[in-house]
Amino acid sequence: MADMTDVAHRMTGDFAWAQEAPAVQQNSEHFGKLVAVHNRRVLACGRDRQTVVERAATHAGVPPEEIVVVLVPRPGLWEIPR
């Protein structure tokens, strides 16, 4: 298993990437869903967190605790109506 500092650093990077990456935030298949990320790769997407994490962890061959999960909002969700 990787050093915890390395894992935490990677997970922080994965989270930041997933929050900004057009491949995540602008993909219509992700809108309104949870996206599981590991090493800046989307490994699973869905509405059930446990299922998404388990699928991603299995695919990546890592413990579920090393998977980053981000909710991708629908476009315009944060806009204030005028």
3-state secondary structure of 33: strand
Does the pLDDT value for residue 48 go beyond 70? yes
18/25 Cα distance (integer angstroms): 7
Model confidence pLDDT, tens digit, residues 66-75: 999 999 998 8
pLDDT of 4:
65
Greatest C-alpha distance within the chain: 52
Is the pLDDT at 81 greater than 60? The verdict is: no
List all residues 6 or more positions away from 37 whose beta carbon is below 8 Å from its beta carbon. Answer: 14, 15, 17, 18, 24, 43, 56, 67, 68, 69, 70
Res 82 pLDDT > 80: no
pTM of the model: 0.84
Q: How many CB atoms lie within 10 A of CB 69?
A: 17
pLDDT for residue 34? 98
